[in-house]
């Protein structure tokens, strides 16, 4: 017999215990410092007092969990096709979820729930990271019934959609499909050599600073008569050591990079299947992923100077998934494509090649602000500290001009590459100083739009926009606000007049 | 088959986001904000007074003087910000989307088309419940940054808004 869920009902009565333990955990976590202080202060008091306090605390928690239990109800509104959860003791919340928006219903059991013999039911809709509806204590039968009820209203296709191949096992049965792109050994080698420069540079800086420091210590020790000769001797030797060390570090970092790329992406195959992309890669444990064009939210193409010369680029794809948490966060990466392969992938994802439309150039203030943050503040901080608390850092003053020049160049390129292109069918944002990336989204993937303007930018008519998609946000700052708003109005018009599918 | 048209859209004459008449939050919500502020100010000044009474040697007299000057000033600033923030908040339910405006230094406007709404939640705070107010939260698939929270709406109106949103979600399917 099916349970009737149309009347508001509470969780299992034994579930109060689950709530009790969860609440205890929550409050203990929040208040443990206070307890600690309390007990240290009360060392000399008699034991009964301490037990009294603990007892009072537990009774309070029990009361809270009972009230939580009393105030938590859920029901199915048949008429409006909604699942409704009411909760909260003082602050009340009523969550209403449309049945056809429900993507997944998970039934779990934690350790505490296992002891008490109840289950947890989580209702998940598309996109956002947290679970929208969470019933902490429910009997197994009820959980299964509710799950069936919640999912039965869903279109058949949706249920089928969840069972589409997406697992490695299913994929293996399809390995007969010939890959249409194969990232070659040589391309991966190029990727290994040219990527992850930030990490490389950071390591090099670390190395240099230690060498420099030990050298300066060495020359400090040389005092007296032989100073000149000794300093010269050390210097030439030190220079050799630096150059040797530099190359060794460079080689080591490159080797590490290459190994990392090979382990991660060895034998990277891309195959087409029913309009989806099947990716398989990996040296030690091979992974396979499916990219469905309709689920793709943000596609990013990244290329740096060397990679451009060598004709390779990196594609990252962010999908809207209803799957595991980790899967949502990480983008799918296709390393070492050449431009023709990129075009083939784009053809499949967008059924045409992305075009750059009207160009938006950020206001000069963007550059000024970047320079302020990256140059003015750190330099001011350096001199400020050198003149007050840490006079010894004045030694490194010679590095300041290098830093300033490097930062100015970086900020200039960052500004130069910071662009937004709006085409009727594509929105492309480019950014980055060294690794220049191009993020591509389709206007119909937009979930919401935020516009923002500082009050002192009103006169200059500049403002910012954030386009929210199910795979992350794309933001662009300090653009011409009037023109930007025209496009926002158009996007909204297009979103609202059509029922375009975003996943 | 319906008569298919594909006229050029006059982008100049589309409904403009910037010319929406925003509805201000219910004036009773001011009481909620005042209560929150009173709580913050009470705890802060109370804590300082207790500290000054029990352990006056924690800070030197000079620092106590600075605290004595800065605390009222910063509290005044908090109150000013709260008032400006309250005044600048506004919402609008258009035919096809919901718009919410907020922000003190920057004016942020967020738009969610109804066909992108995932689900809706109603929150009633402790103080709000006495005043018959509720907060409507509209969720999309775009993560927490793209959710709209409209506080200070009368309970009945909030229920209506929820129904409206749910109805709009329903209709598009």
Question: What pLDDT does residue A273 have?
Answer: 83
Phi-psi region of A471 (alpha: psi -120 to 50; beta: other; left: phi over 0): alpha
Give the nearest partner residue to A454 out of B105, B113, B163, using CB atoms: B105
Chain B residues in contact with A461 (beta carbon < 8 A)? none
Instruction: Give the full edge-to-edge strand order of the sheet including A332-337.
Output: A332-337, A313-319, A296-303, A436-441, A427-431, A419-422, A358-360
Domain boundary among B85, B103, B126: B85
What is the interface size between A and B, counted as CB pairs within 8 Å? 162
State the Cα–Cα distance between residues A195 and A204, nearest whole angstrom: 15
Chain A residues in contact with B14 (beta carbon < 8 A)? 489-490, 492-493
pLDDT band at A157 (very low <50, low <70, confident <90, very high): very low
φ, ψ for residue B103, nearest 5 deg: 115, 145
CB contact at 8 A, A420 and A427: yes
Residues 413 through 452 of chain A touching chain B, CB cutoff 8 Å: 446-452
Overall average pLDDT of the A74-85 stretch: 87
Q: Encoding tokens for residue A206? A: 């670390």
Give how far A163 is from chain B: nearest CA, Å.
21
* B141 assigned to some structural domain: yes
For residues B102 and B52, membership in a common domain is answered with no
Asked if the model's pLDDT at residue A338 lies above 70, the reply is yes
Overall average pLDDT of the A274-300 stretch: 87
pLDDT band at A167 (very low <50, low <70, confident <90, very high): very low
ipTM: 0.89
Helix (H) or strand (E) holding A71: helix A47-71
Question: What pLDDT does residue A233 have?
Answer: 52
Higher pLDDT, A165 or B12: B12
Overall average pLDDT of the A356-383 stretch: 94
Q: Is B111 part of the contact surface with chain A (CB cutoff 8 Å)?
A: yes
Domain extent, residue B134, equals 90-171
Residues 17 through 76 of chain B touching chain A, CB cutoff 8 Å: 17-18
State the Cα–Cα distance between residues B167 and B114, nearest whole angstrom: 10
Overall average pLDDT of the A486-490 stretch: 92
Q: Give which of B95, B112, B130, B142 to mutate to test A binding, by max A Cβ within 10 Å.
A: B142
Domain boundary among B44, B63, B85: B85
Strands B90-93, B97-102: pairing kind = antiparallel
Q: Which of A459-473, B132-146, B158-172 is the least confident region?
A: B158-172
SS3 A350: helix
Q: Is A88 part of the contact surface with chain B (CB cutoff 8 Å)?
A: yes
Asked if the model's pLDDT at residue B63 lies above 50, the reply is yes
Higher pLDDT, A134 or A411: A411
Higher pLDDT, A375 or A158: A375
Determine the Cα angle at A15 with ends A12 and A20, to 5°: 155
Angle between the A364-371 and A399-417 helix axes, to the nearest 10 degrees? 150
Q: How many Cβ atoms from other residues are within 10 Å of residue B12's Cβ?
A: 8
- Based on the number of CB atoms within 10 Å of its own CB, is A402 exposed (0-12), middle (13-18) or buried (19 or more)? exposed
Question: What pLDDT does residue A498 have?
Answer: 83
Asked if the model's pLDDT at residue A327 lies above 80, the reply is no
pLDDT band at B11 (very low <50, low <70, confident <90, very high): confident
Q: Which of A229-243, A336-350, A442-456, B24-38 is the least confident region?
A: A229-243
DSSP designation for B8: P
Question: What pLDDT does residue A221 have?
Answer: 58
Question: What pLDDT does residue A226 have?
Answer: 46
Question: What pLDDT does residue B12 have?
Answer: 76
* B18 assigned to some structural domain: no
Q: Which of A183-197, A226-240, B133-147 is the least confident region?
A: A226-240
- Based on the number of CB atoms within 10 Å of its own CB, is A107 exposed (0-12), middle (13-18) or buried (19 or more)? middle
Give how far A239 is from chain B: nearest CA, Å.
52
Higher pLDDT, B84 or A202: B84
Does the global pTM surpass 0.80?
Answer: yes
For residues B99 and B161, membership in a common domain is answered with yes
CB contact at 8 A, A5 and A104: no
Overall average pLDDT of the A54-68 stretch: 91
Q: Encoding tokens for residue A185? A: 């050994």
SS3 A249: helix
Residue B140: CATH number of its domain: 2.30.29.30
Give how far B93 is from chain A: nearest CA, Å.
14
Overall average pLDDT of the A303-315 stretch: 91
Question: What pLDDT does residue B165 have?
Answer: 87
Please answer yes or no on whether B141 and A495 come within 8 Å at the CB atom: no
Chain A residues in contact with B108 (beta carbon < 8 A)? 450-452
* B57 assigned to some structural domain: yes
φ, ψ for residue A219, nearest 5 deg: -70, -25
φ, ψ for residue A453, nearest 5 deg: -145, 130
DSSP designation for A9: B
For residues B95 and B155, membership in a common domain is answered with yes
In chain A, where are the structural domains located? 15-162
Question: What pLDDT does residue B57 have?
Answer: 80
Higher pLDDT, A190 or B9: A190
Q: Which of A50-54, A113-117, A445-449, A486-490 is the least confident region?
A: A50-54
Compute CA distances B118 → A433, A468, B45, whole Å.
37, 14, 43
φ, ψ for residue A449, nearest 5 deg: -130, 130
Q: Encoding tokens for residue B49? A: 């007074």
In chain A, the residue whose alpha carbon lies closest to the alpha carbon of B102 is: A452
Q: Which of A292, A290, A340, A284 shows the shortest CA–CA distance to A312?
A: A340
Helix (H) or strand (E) holding A201: helix A197-221
Give the nearest partner residue to B116 out of A90, A94, A447, using CB atoms: A447
Overall average pLDDT of the A46-51 stretch: 76
Overall average pLDDT of the B135-141 stretch: 91
Mean pLDDT over the full length of chain A: 83
For residues B95 and B154, membership in a common domain is answered with yes
For residues B103 and B81, membership in a common domain is answered with no
Q: Which of A142, A118, A153 shows the shortest CA–CA distance to A15?
A: A118
Overall average pLDDT of the B101-123 stretch: 92
Q: Is A355 part of the contact surface with chain B (CB cutoff 8 Å)?
A: no
Question: What pLDDT does residue A220 have?
Answer: 59
pLDDT digits (tens, 9 = 90+) for A96-111: 888 888 888 888 888 8
CATH architecture of A15-162: Roll (2.30)
Asked if the model's pLDDT at residue A280 lies above 60, the reply is yes
DSSP designation for A373: I
For residues B68 and B105, membership in a common domain is answered with no
* B1 assigned to some structural domain: no
Please answer yes or no on whether B111 and A94 come within 8 Å at the CB atom: no
Overall average pLDDT of the A478-484 stretch: 93
Helix (H) or strand (E) holding B155: helix B155-171
* B2 assigned to some structural domain: no
For residues B80 and B96, membership in a common domain is answered with no
Q: Is A387 part of the contact surface with chain B (CB cutoff 8 Å)?
A: no
Asked if the model's pLDDT at residue B48 lies above 60, the reply is yes
For residues B100 and B150, membership in a common domain is answered with yes
Overall average pLDDT of the A495-501 stretch: 83
Exposure string for A312-334, b = 16+ CB within 10 A, e = fewer: bbbbbbbbbbbeeeeebeebbbb
Question: What pLDDT does residue A161 have?
Answer: 40
pLDDT band at A173 (very low <50, low <70, confident <90, very high): very low
Chain A residues in contact with B140 (beta carbon < 8 A)? 127-128, 447-448, 468
Residue with the two structure tokens 């306090």: A53
Question: What pLDDT does residue A176 have?
Answer: 53
For A110-172, list the strands marked E by DSSP.
119-125, 133-138
**Residues in chain B, overall count:** 173
Q: Which of A195-199, B29-33, B168-172 is the least confident region?
A: B168-172
Q: Is A323 part of the contact surface with chain B (CB cutoff 8 Å)?
A: no
Domain boundary among B51, B67, B85: B85
Please answer yes or no on whether B105 and A92 come within 8 Å at the CB atom: no
- Based on the number of CB atoms within 10 Å of its own CB, is B147 exposed (0-12), middle (13-18) or buried (19 or more)? buried
Instruction: Give the full edge-to-edge strand order of the sheet including A181-183.
Output: A181-183, A268-273, A276-281, A287-291
Torsion of CA A6, A10, A13, A19, to 10 degrees: 140
State the Cα–Cα distance between residues A127 and A471, nearest whole angstrom: 8
Asked if the model's pLDDT at residue B166 lies above 90, the reply is no
Q: Which range scores top for mean pLDDT: A114-123, A262-271, B73-82?
A: B73-82
For residues B121 and B159, membership in a common domain is answered with yes
Total domains in the fold of chain B: 2
Please answer yes or no on whether A96 and B121 come within 8 Å at the CB atom: yes
State the Cα–Cα distance between residues A465 and A481, nearest whole angstrom: 9
Please answer yes or no on whether B139 and A132 come within 8 Å at the CB atom: yes
């Amino acid at each position: 017999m099916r349970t009737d869920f149309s009347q508001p009902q509470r969780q299992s009565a034994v579930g109060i215990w689950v709530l009790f333990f969860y609440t205890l955990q929550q409050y203990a976590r929040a208040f443990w410092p206070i307890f600690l202080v309390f007990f240290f202060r009360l060392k000399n008091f008699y034991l009964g007092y301490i037990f009294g306090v603990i007892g009072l605390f537990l009774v309070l928690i029990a009361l809270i969990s009972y009230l939580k239990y009393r105030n938590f109800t859920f029901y199915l509104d048949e008429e409006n096709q909604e699942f409704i959860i009411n909760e909260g003791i003082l602050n009340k919340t009523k969550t209403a979820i449309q049945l056809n928006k429900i993507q997944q219903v998970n039934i779990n059991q934690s350790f505490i729930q296992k002891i008490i013999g109840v289950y947890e039911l989580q209702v998940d809709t598309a996109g956002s990271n947290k679970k929208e509806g969470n019933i902490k204590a429910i009997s197994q039968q009820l959980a299964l019934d509710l799950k069936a009820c919640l999912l039965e209203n869903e279109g058949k296709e949706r249920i089928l959609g969840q069972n589409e191949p997406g697992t490695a096992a299913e994929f293996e049965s399809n390995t007969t499909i010939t890959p249409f792109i194969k990232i070659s050994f040589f391309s991966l080698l190029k990727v290994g050599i040219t990527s992850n420069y930030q990490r490389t540079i950071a390591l090099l800086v670390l190395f240099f600073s230690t060498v420099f420091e030990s050298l300066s210590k060495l020359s400090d020790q040389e005092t007296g008569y032989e100073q000149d000769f000794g300093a010269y001797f050390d210097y030439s030797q030190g220079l050799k050591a630096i150059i040797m060390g530099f190359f060794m570090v460079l080689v080591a970092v490159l080797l590490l990079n290459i190994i990392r790329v090979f382990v991660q992406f060895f034998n990277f195959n891309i195959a087409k299947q029913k309009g989806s992309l099947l990716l398989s890669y990996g040296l030690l444990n091979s992974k396979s992923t499916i990219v469905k064009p309709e689920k793709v939210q943000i596609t990013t193409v990244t290329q740096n100077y060397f990679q451009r010369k060598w004709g390779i680029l990196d594609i990252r794809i962010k999908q809207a998934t209803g799957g595991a948490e980790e899967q949502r966060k990480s983008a799918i990466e296709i390393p070492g494509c050449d431009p023709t392969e990129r075009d083939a992938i784009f053809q499949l994802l967008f059924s045409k090649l992305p075009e750059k439309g009207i160009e938006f150039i950020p206001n000069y203030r963007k550059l000024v602000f970047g320079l302020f943050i990256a140059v003015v503040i750190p330099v001011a901080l350096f001199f400020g500290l050198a003149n007050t608390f840490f006079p010894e850092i004045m030694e490194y003053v010679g590095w300041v001009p290098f830093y300033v020049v490097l930062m100015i160049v970086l900020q200039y390129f960052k500004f130069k590459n910071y662009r937004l292109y709006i085409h009727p069918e594509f929105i492309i944002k480019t950014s980055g100083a060294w690794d220049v990336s191009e993020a591509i989204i389709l206007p119909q993937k937009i979930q919401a739009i935020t516009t923002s303007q500082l009050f002192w930018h009103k006169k200059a008519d500049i403002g910012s926009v954030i386009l929210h998609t199910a795979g992350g946000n794309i933001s662009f700052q300090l653009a011409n606000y009037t023109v930007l708003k025209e496009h926002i109005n158009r996007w909204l018009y297009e979103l609202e007049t059509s029922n375009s599918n975003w996943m | 088959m319906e008569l298919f048209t594909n006229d050029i859209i006059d982008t100049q004459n589309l409904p403009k986001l910037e010319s929406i008449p925003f509805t201000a939050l219910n004036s009773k919500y001011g009481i909620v904000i005042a209560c929150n502020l009173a709580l913050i100010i009470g705890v802060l000044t109370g804590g300082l007074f207790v500290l000054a009474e029990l352990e006056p040697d924690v800070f030197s007299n000079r620092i106590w003087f600075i605290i004595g000057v800065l605390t009222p000033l910063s509290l005044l600033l908090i109150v000013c910000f709260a008032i400006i923030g309250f005044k600048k908040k506004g919402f609008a339910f258009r035919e096809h989307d919901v718009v919410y405006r907020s922000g003190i230094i920057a004016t942020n406007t967020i738009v969610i088309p109804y066909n992108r709404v995932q689900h809706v939640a109603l929150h009633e705070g402790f103080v709000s419940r006495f005043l018959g107010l509720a907060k409507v939260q509209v969720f999309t698939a775009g993560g927490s940054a793209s959710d709209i929270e409209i506080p200070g709406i009368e309970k009945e109106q909030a229920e209506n808004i929820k129904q409206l949103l749910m109805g709009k979600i329903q209709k598009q399917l």
